[in-house]
Amino acid sequence: MDKFCEEKVKVQFGVKLLDAVLCVPTQAGDVHTAVVLTHGAGGDMNFKHLVSVAQALASSGSLCLRFTCKGLNLPYRVRAYKAVWEYLNTLEKFSIRHIFLGGRSMGSRAAVALARQLSEAAEAVAGVICLSFPLHPPGQTHAHRQRSEDLRGLPEEMPVLFVSGTVDDMCDRALLETVVKDMKAPVDVLWLEGGGHGLAVRGRSEDSVLDEVNLRVVTWTLKHAAHVKDQS
Distance, in Å, from the CA atom of 135 to the CA atom of 149, rounded to the nearest integer, reads 10
Q: What is the pLDDT of residue 228?
A: 66
Q: For the segment 55-109, what is each residue's pLDDT rounded down to a tens digit? A: 999 999 999 999 999 989 999 999 999 999 999 999 988 889 999 999 999 999 9
Please calculate the CA angle 111-117-120 and round it to the nearest 5 degrees: 140
If DSSP states are collapsed to H, E and C, what string results for 28-84? HHHCCEEEEEECCCCCCCCCHHHHHHHHHHHHCCCEEEEECCCCCCHHHHHHHHHHH
Q: What is the mean pLDDT of residues 118-127?
A: 90
Facing residues of 64 across strands? Answer: 23, 35
Q: Is the pLDDT of residue 230 over 90?
A: no
Confidence grade of residue 229 (pLDDT, cut at 50, 70, 90): low
What is the pLDDT at residue 226? 86
- pLDDT of 231: 59
154 vs 160: CA distance, rounded Å: 9
> Has residue 232 got a pLDDT over 60?
no
pLDDT at 68: 98
Average pLDDT over residues 186-198: 97
Res. 1: pLDDT tops 60: no
Residue 190 in contact with residue 199, Cβ under 8 Å? no
pLDDT band for 27, please (50, 70, 90 cuts). confident
Report residue 210's pLDDT band, with 50, 70 and 90 as the boundaries. Answer: very high
Pairing of strands 16-25, 63-67: antiparallel
